[in-house]
Structure 1
Amino acid sequence: MDVTNTTVFITGANRGLGLAFAREARRRGAKKVYAGMRNTSGFDEPGIIPVRIDVTDKASIAAAAEIADDTTLLINNAGTAALIDGPLASDFEAQSKQLFDINYYGVARVTQAFEQVLSSKQHAAIINVLSDIVWLPRPYLTPYAASKAAAWSYTNQLRFHLQDRGIQVLGLHVGFVDTDLTNGIDVPKASPEDVVRQTYDALAAGKSEIMADQGTSLLKSTLAAEIPGYITPPPGLF
């Protein structure tokens, strides 16, 4: 599905990767771009329509889906992360509940709300923003990793479920992206603009997954190995 002439709805689009998705959609000739965010106050981007949405609140999601009922491309980008001491940390359960509510249930809630909107269109697609963390052990990101692994599984089930309706489902896997979310983390980071360009190109090519940086591609390539990357990560990824 080509972005040209589509109507795009992006969650978490007030900054970072979501805003990069919105700007690139406009550049590629999208007919309309909705930028979903919890607080629309002060948002001012030419040609981009701010819409209030909180992915943890079903009422706001339903209202957003009603406003943006012409959407043909849904991008589930909203997400959050938190650092903890590891999988046995005292705050593990509390952090996990918060991250699952946004990173997993948030994706499912928004997708469910927009399902009828997308099914009514001749051509439609969904992009879910995932992470290489599903294959990379980083104990300080355990709740985030678990929530993104759940979102990956949901994406795979969703793709299979929607294939007969002609709705393309693309999973975007990427490592650290240079946004506010990763400030203070000293690791190599991908450019949000580059990630977005690759993702839209993959969507246009009809792909189901995109590995948007070298590290993620390397990790994915180890999955069939006797010792995959989620057991012993390739050198340079830690």
Structure 2
Amino acid sequence: MDINNAVALVTGANRGLGRAFAQRLLERGARTVYATARRPETVDLPGAEVLPLDITDPASVQAAAKAAPDVSLLINNAGISTGTDLLTGSLDAVRRELETNMFGHLGMIRAFAPALAGNGGGAVVNILSAMSWFAGKGANAYHLTKAAAWAMTNGVRLELADQGTLVTAVHLGLADTDMAAGWPVAKISPSDLADAALDGVETGDAEVLADQWSRDVKSRLPLRPEEFDAAMADALTSLTSPSSP
């Protein structure tokens, strides 16, 4: 798929990764970029077409699909992290993360799949996380939702193959956004992440591992669970130690 002349829709485009995606799409020659947000007045990208969208509201999703029938590239970026654990945290918070990070993305794909088919197949990009693959106290609800979103991405990839729609999973460690502001570690820039994902779409990649952290985590998956957990504990300790770069 050629990003130049594509018609793209980006969720959560008012800040962070979503804004970077919308900006890079414009800079790379996309014909139309629909920049969406729950509060559309917070989107400040000249050249973008702004749409209101709450991905957890089916009526809002359907309205966006009706307003943007020419979409050929769907960027599922919007997401939340509540810092909730599974045993001691609020179940309402766990459900809210699932509704956004997995069901919200799935609802968008279901709503836009007919348009993608009618526009030549196109592509879907799901922004996931290295936490699709590892747990962490204080963020286990996020791990659950990203693991579920990874499984969902793999499933819809098979289901959309017959209509010629590419489905690309993008995994990363931390990006330099508000969500990761409290982590004093190396982070990928939002624009570099957007470029890595869009490059992957152009080359037809089903998966993009956008940084070394995500590549390292995935490389450990063949380990036995206890070995994997020990390796991740060591890696996280090294990542957050004062001597880390």
The correspondence of residues 210-225 of structure 1 with structure 2, limited to 5 A, is 210-225=208-223
The answer to whether the Cα contact below 8 Å between 1:136 and 1:233 also exists between their aligned partners in 2 is no
Task: Say what the alpha-carbon RMSD is for the aligned residues.
Answer: 1.6
Q: How does 1:193-232 map to 2 (within 5 A)?
A: 193-226=191-224, 230-232=228-230
Alignment partner for residue 109 of structure 2, among 101, 108, 111? 111
Give the CA deviation at 1:226: 4.1
Measured in 2, the distance between the counterparts of 1:100 and 1:87 equals 12
Query: Which residues of 2 match residues 133-152 of structure 1 at below 5 A?
Result: 133-152=131-150
Deviations 1:3-27 (A, max 9, x none): 1110000111111000100011111
1:153 equivalent in structure 2: 151
Q: Out of 38-47 and 143-152, give the one that drifted further.
A: 38-47
Return the alpha-carbon distance in structure 2 between the equivalents of residues 19 and 66 of structure 1: 22
CA deviations 1:105-141 (Å, max 9, x no partner) are 1001111111111111124000000010122221110
**Alignment partner of 1:64 is 2:77:** no
**Greater share of helix residues, 1 or 2?**
2
Give SS of 1:41's match.
Answer: helix
**Aligned counterpart, 2:173:** 175
Alpha carbons 1:74, 1:125 under 8 Å: kept:
yes
Name the TM-score, length of structure 2 as normaliser: 0.91
Task: Kindly indicate whether the alpha-carbon contact (under 8 Å) linking 2:37 and 2:43 is maintained by their aligned counterparts in 1.
Answer: no
* Structure 2: segments with no counterpart, 5+ residues: 238-245
Check whether the contact 2:11–2:53 (CA below 8 A) recurs between aligned residues. Answer: yes
Q: Distance in 2 between matches of 1:80 and 1:230?
A: 26
Tell me by how many angstroms 1:30 deviates: 0.4
In structure 1, the residue matched to 2:87 is: 88
TM-score (norm 1): 0.94
Asked if structure 1 preserves the Cα contact closer than 8 Å seen for 2:121 and 2:163, the reply is no
Mapped to 2, the partners of 1:124 and 1:52 lie a distance apart of 22
Judged with a 3 Å threshold, the aligned counterparts in structure 2 of structure 1 residues 165 and 222 are, in CA distance, closer, same or farther, namely: same
Q: 1:49 to 1:194 in 2, by over 3 A?
A: same
User: Aligned partners of 2:55 and 2:19: how far apart in 1?
Assistant: 17
- Structure 2 counterpart of 1:189, from 179, 187, 190: 187
Q: What is the percentage of aligned positions where both structures have the same residue?
A: 36
Any stretches of 5+ residues in structure 1 without a counterpart?
Answer: none
Match of 1:8 in 2: 8
Provide Cα deviations, 1:24-79, integer angstroms capped at 9, x if missing partner. 11111100000110011143311111100001111111111111110000011010
Partners of 1:49 and 1:56 in 2: CA distance? 21
Change over 3 Å in CA distance of 1:213–1:42 after alignment to 2:
closer
Following superposition, the deviation at residue 229 of structure 1 comes to 7.0
Secondary structure class of the residue paired with 2:235: coil
SS in 1 for 2:107: helix
